[in-house]
Structure 1
Amino acid sequence: MNKIESFKIDHTKLKRGIYVSRRDQIGAENVTTFDLRVKEPNNEAALDSAAAHTLEHIGATFLRNHSEYGDKIIYFGPMGCLTGFYLLLNGKYDSKDVVSLIRELFKFAADFEGDVPGASAVECGNYTLMDLSLAKTEAAKYYAEVLDGIGLDNLNYPE
C-alpha cells in the first residue's frame, strides 16, 4: 500500500499551528483539508478525549453557523491521535486565509457558556463523554500560545 500524505509529514518537527493538509478536486469542486494542530506531536500530552469531543460539538456548531464560512464547512472533527482537528472547507484556500476564522472559533470555544450543543442521548452517541471546563482550557491555551501571534512556522508544514 502507498503511504498516505499525512504520514509523510515529519511529526518530530511539527509545531502547533494551522496547516493545509491536502487539497482535493471532486468534480468541479475544490476541497481544502486543514490540520489544526493543537498539541505538539509526541512532545506534549494529547487532548483528553472528553475535551476533544466537547470542542468538536462546539466547533462544528460554531462553524456551520458562521456568517461567512457556514455554507463552506464540510467537516470539523478530532484527529485520531488527538493532537488536533481536521477542518474541511469547500474551496481552495491557504492556511493564512483561515487564520481569522480559526481565531474566532477557538475564542468562541474558550469563552463558551451554557449547554454543549448536541450533548444529549437523543443527539449524540456518546453524550456523557464531555468536559466543558477542560475544553475551554485547551481552546484558550491554543488561542493564546499559537493563534494570537501565529507566524509562518505555524502555517507551513516543516520541510
Structure 2
Amino acid sequence: MEKITSFTIDHLRLIPGLYVSRVDFVEGHPITTFDIRITNPNEEPVMNTAEIHTIEHLAATFLRNHPTAGPKTIYFGPMGCRTGFYLLLSGSLTSREIIPLMTELFTFIAEFEGDIPGASAKDCGNYLDMNLPMAKYIARKYLTEVLTDIDDSRLLYPTND
C-alpha cells in the first residue's frame, strides 16, 4: 500500500507549528486539513489524554459557534500520536490565513473558566478524563511559542531533502 500523506512528513525535522496537511476535494469542493502540531515529535513528551480531551471539547465548541469559522468547520480532533490536532475546514486555505482564528481559539482555551462544555456523563463517553489546568497551560505555550511571531518554519512542512 502507498503511504498516506501524513506518514511522508519527516517527523525528525518537524517542529510545533500550523501546517496544511492536505487539500481534498469532495464533489469538487475543497476541504483543507490543518496539522496543528503542539509538541515536537519524538523529542518532547506527548500530551496526555485528559488535556487532549479537554482541548478537543473546548476547541470543537468554540469553532462550531464561531461566527465565520462555524459554517466552515468540519472536524477538530486529536492525532493518534498525541502530538497535535487536525482541523478540517471547508475551502482551500493556507496556514497563514487561519493564524488569527487559531490565535483566537488558543486564547479562548488559555483563558477558559467554568464548566467544560459537554463534560457530563449524559454528553460524553469519558467525561471524567479532563484536565482544564493542563489544557490551559498547553494553549498558552502554543500561543507564545508558536503563534506569536510565527514564520514559514512553522507554517510549511520541512522538505524531504
TM-score (norm 2): 0.98
- Please name the residue that 2:146 is paired with: 146
- Please name the residue that 2:89 is paired with: 89
- Please name the residue that 2:59 is paired with: 59
**Structure 2 residue 159 is the aligned partner of structure 1 residue 125:** no
Structure 1 residue 68: Cα displacement: 1.0
- Please name the residue that 1:108 is paired with: 108
Structure-to-structure mapping, 1:12-31, within 5 angstroms: 12-31=12-31
| Cα distance in structure 1, aligned partners of 2:25 and 2:10 | 25
**Structure 2 residue 158 is the aligned partner of structure 1 residue 158:** yes
SS at 2:36's partner residue?
strand
SS at 1:21's partner residue?
strand
Structure 1 residue 130: Cα displacement: 0.2
- Please name the residue that 1:43 is paired with: 43
Structure 1 residue 94: Cα displacement: 0.8
SS at 2:156's partner residue?
coil
1:108-155 C-alpha deviation (Å, 9 max, x unpaired): 000000000000011111000000010000111111111112111000
TM-score (norm 1): 0.99
SS at 2:109's partner residue?
helix
CA RMSD, Structure 1 to Structure 2 (Å): 0.5
Percentage identity across paired residues of the two chains: 55
Q: How many residues align?
A: 159
User: Runs of 5+ in structure 2 lacking a partner?
Assistant: none
Q: Residue type matched to 1:111 in 2?
A: E
SS at 1:107's partner residue?
helix
| Cα distance in structure 2, aligned partners of 1:28 and 1:44 | 39
Structure 1 residue 29: Cα displacement: 1.2
1:22-71 C-alpha deviation (Å, 9 max, x unpaired): 00000021100000000010110001110000000000000001111110
Q: Residue type matched to 1:116 in 2?
A: I
